[in-house]
Amino acid sequence: MQKPTLPKGTRDFGPEQMRKRLFIFDTIRKTFQRFGFQPIETPSMENLSTLTGKYGDEGDQLLFKILNSGDFAAGLTEPDLAAGSKKITPKIAEKGLRYDLTVPFARYVVMNRNDLTMPFKRYQMQPVWRADRPQKGRYREFYQCDADVVGTDSLLCEAEIILMIHEVFRNLTIQDFTLKINNRKILAGIAEVIGVPGQEGTLSVAIDKLDKIGKQKVLDELRERGFPDDTIVKLEPLFSFDTLDANRLLDQLTNWLSESETARQGIFELNETLQLVHQYGLTDSRVEIDPTLARGLSYYTGAIFEVKANGVSIGSVSGGGRYDNLTGAFGMPGLSGVGISFGVDRIYDVMDELALFPASSGQGTQVLIVPFDREARAKALPLSSELRLAGIAAEVYPDLVKVKKMLDYANARGILFVVLIGSEEVQTGILSLKNMVTGEQHMITAEELVNRLR
Amino acid sequence: MQKPTLPKGTRDFGPEQMRKRLFIFDTIRKTFQRFGFQPIETPSMENLSTLTGKYGDEGDQLLFKILNSGDFAAGLTEPDLAAGSKKITPKIAEKGLRYDLTVPFARYVVMNRNDLTMPFKRYQMQPVWRADRPQKGRYREFYQCDADVVGTDSLLCEAEIILMIHEVFRNLTIQDFTLKINNRKILAGIAEVIGVPGQEGTLSVAIDKLDKIGKQKVLDELRERGFPDDTIVKLEPLFSFDTLDANRLLDQLTNWLSESETARQGIFELNETLQLVHQYGLTDSRVEIDPTLARGLSYYTGAIFEVKANGVSIGSVSGGGRYDNLTGAFGMPGLSGVGISFGVDRIYDVMDELALFPASSGQGTQVLIVPFDREARAKALPLSSELRLAGIAAEVYPDLVKVKKMLDYANARGILFVVLIGSEEVQTGILSLKNMVTGEQHMITAEELVNRLR
């Protein structure tokens, strides 16, 4: 018999991991809700016509496709076979697994456009699938937690996203993080001012690598990509900004990019957003303006956000930005929105590495009841009901076995308290409560037990 | 441009539905946890070698298969094409979407056998996929919520499942339900006693239809399936039991099936389980013994459970039973367990039809702040922060538009309270609170507002 295995790039989550993950999900969900975001869920499968062409050629290849049901190969011919996999795919697969939550959200908005109240604030916490090559920290199935507001271009939304990021990480007790913020219009302005208007895409791809490869190699890459030498010289100020003083940085950007109307608009938006954040009363802000932040640009047209935890070398744990044309691909142009995505897997890694999970998040059952015999069990059962009624997670060891075996179970499961019921306890009605960590044991009434554990 | 659509048999869940669904999930999860069940999650994809052959031929055909990534058709030949879809599938698809939570759980147990503490109590709440023909109430993607205990054959587990079912439905405020219970060994005993030993499977398939087609047609079917006339005559008592008096029914079964050792064991188990439930202190029990209950039998070897809500014509909302050989197909024989599965979609339908969702479960944002102008907005922002800090879901309307438009938004979103901030409120610092249902409006301080909404 073959031993069962997992498909590569996928994972099981055991109880301890799950409890920690649920703590993260719960924290994010509650924060989203407090800010008025509403939950939606979309199906795991989408028509390939919905997904294809939205993530570039590379993305299309990373889509998991679902074989049509029934006699899928009936229409396949020898010439099809000769034409190869790419040509065969659309004939045998109509559906694919969602690749992110953004495209399904766009589809949802378009299909429900007549019923949605704008501005529409939604959040969505579901797994996505990518046929990426698995490697450390990269999986083929992982969760995204997205919140977006569409149908308004108010900068209040940018400000609220900044607040929400602070609240999520503080509620997770990740105190030490940096929230970098930029604006696509500033990047566009830089491209204009140095003399390569419209080429902020190429510029960003190179600049995105600054942390990894350093300034010199970024400039080399730009040169290779056809940026004339004089444009590269003009880029110099970008590498010498003081990113720790927001006002000073905004002044420097204003001076440098004064010729560009687009840049001025971007700087205005950035400044206005930070003013609003200040009005909301955010204290101990972790916001840092970074005019090199691009996040691959993709569909961002305004604000760009990225969050990293300090003190660990784990990539970004959250990112997002404003876009102008979420639903254009589905025939509904001009819908503006701004969103943020939290990466649960990386947040988990950060919290694990920094030992930030509260003890209670790893905890399952609070108390195990250990009856020594049948008679004791008759006392154990109503006691367990009483505890559960009080909201306490309680178990009765189901088999009548040696007491040591039951205590071993409590230890292995990490159950802190054990209630021992032997003949003495049956007679007196007083219970024996044992703390499995300290070993302390003392007598207690059922009522005291409930009050203590509640 | 083509209008986007959803794959057939799949659904989007909008905010109101989602909030109600989350209420159901949350209720079930909390109950599972109180009974000491621990969360696990398994990947959506499993190797087809894990899934195939576990659900019968029909089940195999209902598996969604995932096309291999990359150049999947490279190894396909013309003879393959001629051999047809069934032969081609294993060459181009290695993975499938999970069909239920039981087989992935069995795989998990086998892969983690050395690390699990037995008895192992796990719960799992995840979607499953079936390429069934979509119809009313049947979808291709739906959630299952399962709880199982493996590694013990203690009847305490059966009793706790009965308690847990009562707690779940009562917490959902579904008060009026019937929990039918039977035991595979009683069905086996009936087959023995009427003279067709070992044929309880065929017997059950026919009897399962009793509610739908009536006694006469059930007997006709058995005759067609080769049950001799004298066996069918002997079946007569089965149709005349008084299922409302458990003790009387157990007596009648004992008399009828006295020759069968297996039946006696089944009756003992049933009786013992009910005694234990009584010891736990369950009041107003909804348990009803039904010696015809079979639930397709499949892998059940002991107790069989099924729950239906009364007063609605929606199928079973929960079902389960004991099995002896969960992991045998993966080379780990003899692992006994008992489990229960809750069907969220049907529970939703029941609660919707009976209007049982609490008002709070449909509620999102509690209060919308409506600033009349920029100056008012400067007051609105810190107020929203204060409300959120107190755990209140609050929104500020993001654009400065006409007040009527903002009130329309509150109405469309079902937000009960609106705080109006105009020039007067800015001057006095006193807020104007409007109840959108009653239309009442009165002045209130920020402090009073927080206390009132919290």
Tens-digit pLDDT profile for residues B123-162: 999 999 999 998 887 899 999 999 999 999 999 999 999 9
Check pLDDT > 90 for residue B43.
yes
Is a pLDDT exceeding 90 seen at residue B208?
no
CATH number (domain holding residue B395)? 3.40.50.800
CB–CB contact B73 A93 (8 Å): no
A179 lies in the same domain as A203: yes
Whether residue B368 sits in one domain with residue B265: no
Are A418 and A274 part of one and the same domain? no
Q: Quickly list DSSP for A361-372.
A: GG---SEEEEES
Question: Looking at the domain assignment, is residue B301 inside a domain?
Answer: yes
Q: What is the maximum span of chain B, computed from C-alpha positions, in angstroms?
A: 94
Q: Which chain A residues contact residue B369 at CB under 8 A?
A: none
Residue A296 shares a structural domain with residue A382? no
Summarize pLDDT for A144-172 with one digit per residue, the tens. 999 999 999 999 999 999 999 999 999 99
ipTM of this complex prediction, to 2 decimal places? 0.94
Among candidates B21, B43, B94 on the partner chain, residue whose Cβ is nearest the Cβ of A10: B43
pTM, two decimals, is 0.95
The pLDDT, as a whole number, for residue A307 is: 97
Structure tokens at A371: 């009856």
Strands B120-129 and B38-39, bridge-based pairing: parallel
Strands, E, within B165-268: which ranges? 177-183
Residue A322 tokens, joined: 């404003």
CB contact under 8 A, A39 and B18: yes
Give the mean model confidence (pLDDT) for residues A86-99.
Answer: 94
CB contact under 8 A, B4 and A107: yes
Residue A428: CB atoms within 10 Å: 11
| A394 interaction partners in chain B (CB closer than 8 Å) | 34-36
Burial tier of A226 (Cβ tally within 10 Å: 0-12, 13-18, 19+): exposed
Would the pLDDT of A185 be above 80?
yes
Q: What tokens appear for B263 in the block? A: 């039946």
* Shared domain check, B235 and B130: yes
Identity of the residue in A1, A49, A159 whose CB atom sits nearest the CB atom of B331: A1
pLDDT computed for residue B358 by the predictor: 86
| Claim to verify: residue B338 and residue B417 sit in the same structural domain | no
Q: Are B306 and B294 in contact (CB under 8 A)?
A: no
Is the bond preceding residue A119 a cis peptide, omega within 30 degrees?
A: yes
Give the structural domain span for B28. Answer: 22-40+106-141+148-353
Mean pLDDT of chain A: 93
Asked which of A331, A353, A375 is the last residue of a domain, the reply is A353
Is the backbone of residue B295 left (phi > 0), alpha (psi -120 to 50) or beta? left
Is the CB of B4 less than 8 angstroms away from the CB of A47? yes
Of the spans A78-87, A243-252, B95-104, which averages the highest pLDDT?
Answer: B95-104
Percent of chain A with pLDDT over 90: 82
Pairing of β A93-97 and β A65-67 = antiparallel
Q: How far is A30 from chain B (nearest CA, A)?
A: 9
Kindly state whether residues B415 and B331 are assigned to the same domain: no
**Amino acid identity at B20:** K
Same-domain check for residues A179 and A293: yes
Q: Which residues between 210 and 229 in chain A have a beta carbon less than 8 angstroms from any beta carbon of chain B?
A: none
Please indicate, yes or no, whether residues A346 and A372 belong to a single structural domain of this protein.
no
Residue B270 domain flag: yes
Inside any domain, residue A402: yes
Residue B72 near chain A (CB below 8 Å): yes
In a domain, A334, yes or no: yes
Average pLDDT value for chain B: 93
Taking residues A104-117, report their average pLDDT: 96
Count CA atoms within 13 Å of residue B205 on its CB side: 9
Say whether B15 and A39 touch across the interface (CB within 8 A): yes
pLDDT digits (tens, 9 = 90+) for B405-427: 999 999 999 999 999 999 999 99
pLDDT at A217 over 90: yes
Query: Per the domain annotation, does A210 fall within a domain?
Result: yes
Considering B296, B323, B353, which residue would you say is the last residue of a domain? B353
Using the predicted structure, report yes or no on whether residue A366 has a pLDDT greater than 90: yes
Q: Does B156 map to a domain?
A: yes
pLDDT (mean) for B315-341: 93
Q: What is the mean pLDDT of residues B342-366?
A: 89
Listed range (A242-256, B101-115, B262-276, B389-403) with the worst mean pLDDT = A242-256
Confidence class for position A322, pLDDT limits 50, 70, 90: very high
Residue A361, pLDDT > 80, answer no
Q: Which of chain A's residues have a Cβ under 8 Å away from the Cβ of B365? A: 36, 38
Q: Does B84 sit within 8 Å of A12, measured CB to CB? A: no
- Looking at the complex, report in whole angstroms how far the Cα of residue A302 sits from the nearest Cα belonging to chain B: 17
In chain B, whose CA is at the least distance from the CA of A133?
A: B69
Q: Has residue B362 got a pLDDT over 80? A: no
Within this chain, do residues A388 and A294 fall inside the same structural domain, yes or no? no
The identity of residue A416, as a single letter, is L
Q: How far is B94 from chain A (nearest CA, A)?
A: 9
Q: Are residues B117 and B215 in the same domain?
A: yes
CA separation for the pair A363, A367 (Å, rounded): 11
Tell me how long chain B is. Answer: 454
Please state the φ and ψ torsions of residue B442, each to the nearest 5 degrees: -150, 165
In terms of average pLDDT, the best of A25-29, A236-240, B81-85 is A25-29
Rounded to 5°, angle at Cα B33 from B31 and B37: 115
Asked whether the beta carbons of B278 and B157 are under 8 A apart, the reply is: no
Strands, E assignment, A77-140: 93-97, 120-129
Asked whether A302 and A184 are in contact (CB, 8 A), the reply is yes
Q: Which of the listed residues B294, B327, B353 is the one where a domain comes to its end? A: B353
Partner A, chain B 137-166, Cβ-Cβ below 8 Å: 140-141, 149, 152, 154, 156-157, 159-160, 163
pLDDT, one tens digit per residue, over B98-129 is: 999 999 999 999 999 999 999 999 999 999 99
Residues of B in contact with A65 (CB under 8 A): 66-67
Whose CA is closest to B109, among B301, B299, B326, B323?
A: B326
With CB atoms and an 8 Å threshold, state whether B34 touches A388: yes
Q: In this structure, what DSSP letter does residue A208 have?
A: T
Split into its structural domains, chain B has a count of 2
Segment A118-125 shows an average pLDDT of 97
Q: How far apart are CA B412 and CA B431, in angstroms?
A: 23
d(CA A130, CA A134): 10
pLDDT digits (tens, 9 = 90+) for A287-312: 999 998 988 766 899 999 999 999 99
Residue numbers of A between 15 and 54 with CB closer than 8 Å to B? 15, 18-19, 21-22, 33-36, 38-47, 49-50
Tell me what the mean pLDDT of segment A325-336 comes to: 91
E strand residue ranges, A187-336: 287-289, 300-309, 318-323
Q: What is the pLDDT of residue B231?
A: 95
pLDDT score of A242: 77
Are residues B449 and B387 in contact, defined by beta-carbon separation less than 8 angstroms?
A: yes
**CA distance to partner chain B, nearest, from residue A186 (Å):** 24
Q: Structure tokens of A113?
A: 């456009």
Q: Percentage of residues in chain B with pLDDT exceeding 70? A: 98
User: For residue B181, what is the enclosing H or E element?
Assistant: strand B177-183
Kind of pairing between the strands at A120-129 and A93-97: unpaired
Do both B411 and B333 map to the same domain? no
Residues with Cβ within 8 Å of residue B91, at least 6 apart in sequence: B75, B76, B80
- Residue A389 to chain B, least CA–CA distance (Å): 9
Joined tokens for residue A289: 């303006």
% of chain A with per-residue pLDDT over 70: 98
Instruction: Give the closest of A3, A41, A77 to B18, CB-based.
Output: A41
Instruction: Show residues of chain B in contact with A93, CB under 8 Å.
Output: 67
* Under 8 Å between Cβ of A416 and A435: yes
- Residue B247 pLDDT greater than 80, yes or no: yes
Average pLDDT, integer, range B288-299: 83
CB–CB of A377/A371 below 8 Å? yes
> What's the pLDDT at B243?
73
Q: Report if residue A92 sits inside a domain.
A: no
Question: Do the domain assignments include residue A170?
Answer: yes
The two beta strands, A394-396 and B318-323, are unpaired
For residues B51-62, give the mean pLDDT: 90
Does the pLDDT value for residue A70 go beyond 70?
yes
Question: Residue B322 pLDDT more than 80?
Answer: yes
Q: Is A311 on the interface with B (CB under 8 A)?
A: no
The encoded tokens of residue A14 equal 């055991």
Q: Which of B13, B93, B395 faces A36 most closely, judged by CB atoms? A: B395
Structure confidence by residue, pLDDT tens digits, A123-146:
999 999 999 998 887 899 999 999
Instruction: State mean pLDDT over A33-45.
Output: 97
Neighbours of B360 (CB within 10 A): 9
Supply the CATH number for residue A245's domain. Answer: 3.30.930.10
Question: Using 50, 70 and 90 to split pLDDT, how confident is the model at A82?
Answer: confident
Report whether the peptide linkage leading into residue A398 is cis, meaning its omega lies within 30 degrees of zero.
Answer: no
